[in-house]
A and B are shown apart, each in its own frame.
Chain A
Amino acid sequence: MRLRRWRRMSVPYALALLGSAWMIVLFLIPLISQLSVSLMTGDPEQGYNLTWNFGIYAELFGPGAAVPYALFLGRALLFGGAATLITILVGYPVAYFLAFRVPRRWKTPLLSLVVMSLLVSFIIRTYMWGFILGGHGPILTWLRALHLAGPDFHILDTAGAVIGGLAYNSFPYMVLPIYAVLERIDPRTFEAAADLYASPRVGFFRTTLPLSRAGIFSGILLVFIDSVGDPVNSQLLGGKTTYMIGQAIQDSYLIQQQYNVASALSAVLMLALGVILFAYARFFGTENIEDLV
């Protein structure tokens, strides 16, 4: 009897085994290893030893920090947040259009168009923006020809170019989840709203938007996390004051081989992202993050 009970009890564990193994090997162990490396001291020649050096966090982010990592992190969060907002403002109408206004046979080709940019290497796409936005690129040439921009007006090498690049590169990741959610909304909801004398505007804000919240939230997760940690856009499109935390992590790891610094920076980045997204989920008014996703 006890054996049968044990067997029955063990079924869910057995089912969870693969998923748990995946999480342990690819998430938990790397995470703990990263946190422990951040608490090491040493250098690449002498090696790094775990000395529980919690002070490194204060050293890197405290008021007397030699390198302004807090600034790089703040800048990354700001740029990432701006890029996320842009992808929502631009991506939502696109997803809405694809879900409700496009004839069925056009949906697949148009969706493919959204995803198509992902077929080209991320670096090449970003680099091409450098060409398009450059001093003699098509955009500035037109703007100057129309006398809308002076000879010293720059787009490339500014914060705006970096934010634009981040938004462009993450655009499909915002459109797809919103589209997937909108697609599933029962059209009778809109009829019901209309029957209850809701204008199209009120109907949208009272039915469609709340019902697509989960899609927006997934999109935000994908875009915000990806943008804040990105080291490429600021390198290719940014100027001399757009250095972001992703570049700092890459440089401290690859060039200076400060593994402890790189790990600590990553840990703080993860923590900052986690806190912001969790706070956002609470602010959005649900008890549980899962209800949103």
Chain B
Amino acid sequence: MSDGDIARGHIDPGLFRGLTQARLSRRGMLRGAGALGGAAALSALLTACSIPGTNQSGTADERINWTEWWAGKKQLGTLNFANWPLYIDQDDNGNSESLKRFTAATGIHVNYKEVINDVQTFYAKVAPQLRAGQSTGYDLAVLTNGWQLTEMIDNGWLAQLDHSQMPNFIANAGRDTLFPAFDPGSLHTAVWQSGFTGLAYNEKLTGGPIESFADLLKPEFAGKIGMLDDNVEYGSAALLAIGVEPTKSTHADWKKAVDWLNKLQPSVTKYYDQGYTDALQNGDIWICQAYSGDVFQLNAGGHPEIKYVVPKEGQVVWHDNMIIPITADHPVDALKMIDFVYRPEIAALIADYVNYVSPVPAAQQIIRDQLGDPAVADSPLVFPTAEMLAKTHDYYVFKDYADFTAWNDIFNPISQA
């Protein structure tokens, strides 16, 4: 190869370039990319150096004239309904008779979505939209009472229900489901279904009935106790156990309740998020804090040895509530639905399927006579007796975030260890 060859370009141009020119090193390249990326990230940082609080939301409940608000809304023929899985009557093809009848009666088409699996996740999804005054995509949602629901009411994120358009609700709602502690005027919520939190035990293993929270401390049950992994549940149980009405409890009471829980702690095997019903059947635990609806399902599924009991000291009732976000696109359609499910024959269809506590006492007769299902109609876990209701309490309602934090700080160390 002569000099001439190179001059005429007979050498591979890639090699030539490599020989004559400094390569861009990997490190140099990363430095260049880093500078670019850093600039982009910095600008993102500058635009995002605060997270707006829920109190900064623009809608204040009191400032709205609700009569005018409802007068300005029309029925639009569509309803986007967010609910929990398996929480409405369904046939084998997944069609709901009650929704079918609703469409027949009102002409409103329902987009029924089973999208709520727990309140926290759903709240985390919709809170930013509600704060920004945007539609969440749902006109009606079913949420359990608790900190998140209280926040939504306090922030003015929920439409105030127009009772004048809800004749069935006013006439048929059970007196014990109206006016709960978290919504004293029933102005923002209407109960979809409710349930109790008490105790369940495996009769075969305990060898006798369990009657009270005090029984949990008996030495023979050490290592055989389960509690629910929810500080509101075990906290409320402990308040009842020490004889304090949860809705009237003070921070000092909470500390006493925690002392009781610490006394119970050596006996507890586990704080259950789910699966406590299996554990009761398996014998992993003998006694557990339990939801009434779960025990009803167990009994109906051929496990009569698992008993639900209202502890002597009392039980708490939770409500899953229908709410209409203030930004809903079809609020009138949602209001129609709320009132519709308070018709006794519709409430009966739903309660007969989901087996939780129905908000409509009149549904009991219909389930027994027309639907021919006395097992459900006569169960105190679906239609509680007056005696049970007398021992039933509401949960403590958090006043604000500081109050909620105080509860968490006091009760979290029990299950987070």
A residues lining the B interface (CB < 8 Å): 8-9, 12-13, 16, 20, 23-24, 28-29, 32-33, 36-37, 40, 42-50, 66-67, 72, 127, 130-131, 134-137, 152, 154, 156-157, 235-236, 238-241, 243, 247-248, 251, 253-257, 259
Contacts and interface: CB of A to CB of B under 8 A. Distances in A.
Nearest to A133: B284
A161 to B, nearest CB: 11
A239 B284 CA distance: 12
19 contacts: A24-B36, A24-B41, A29-B44, A32-B44, A33-B44, A33-B45, A36-B45, A44-B54, A45-B400, A47-B52, A49-B50, A67-B412, A131-B282, A136-B283, A239-B269, A240-B270, A241-B417, A247-B416, A254-B124
B273 A20 contact: no
Q: Nearest 9 pairs between A and B by C-beta?
A: A47-B53, A50-B49, A135-B284, A136-B282, A48-B51, A254-B120, A46-B53, A134-B282, A135-B283
B41 A45 contact: no
A103 to B, nearest CB: 42
B12 interface: no
A42 B269 CA distance: 36
Given A40-B50, A136-B282, A241-B417, A157 B270 contact: yes
Contacts of B279: 134-135
Contacts of B151: 44-45
A135 to B, nearest CB: 4
**Looking at chain B, what size class is its interface with the partner chain?**
35 or more
B174 interface: no
Contact of B36 (A20, A135, A256): A20
A28 B405 contact: no
Contacts of A43: 53, 401-402, 405
A198 to B, nearest CB: 37
Contacts of A134: 278-279, 282, 284
B384 interface: no
- Among B17, B45, B413, the one with the most A-chain Cβ atoms within 10 Å of its Cβ is B45
A196 B409 CA distance: 67
B38 to A, nearest CB: 8
A240 B120 CA distance: 22
Contact of A137 (B42, B265, B273, B282): B282
B362 to A, nearest CB: 37
Nearest to A131: B278
B121 interface: yes
Contacts of A32: 41-42, 44-45
A36 B49 contact: yes
Interface in B244-293: 265, 268-271, 273, 275, 278-279, 281-284
Interface in B30-69: 32-33, 36-37, 40-42, 44-45, 48-56
A32 B409 CA distance: 29
B165 interface: no
Contacts of B36: 20, 24
A136 B303 CA distance: 15
B415 interface: yes
Contact of B48 (A23, A33, A130, A239): A33
A16 B29 contact: yes
B104 interface: no
Given A24-B37, A24-B40, A12 B29 contact: yes
Contacts of B404: 256
A135 B282 contact: yes
B284 A13 contact: no
Contacts of A137: 282
A243 B417 contact: yes
B350 to A, nearest CB: 28
B408 interface: yes
Contact of A13 (B32, B41, B269, B412): B32
Nearest to A151: B283
A256 B227 CA distance: 20
A45 B17 CA distance: 62
B223 interface: yes
A45 B55 contact: yes
B6 to A, nearest CB: 19
A163 to B, nearest CB: 17
B24 interface: yes
Given A43-B405, A47-B52, 11 more contacts: A24-B36, A28-B41, A46-B401, A135-B284, A136-B284, A157-B284, A236-B275, A240-B415, A243-B415, A251-B416, A255-B120
A222 to B, nearest CB: 24
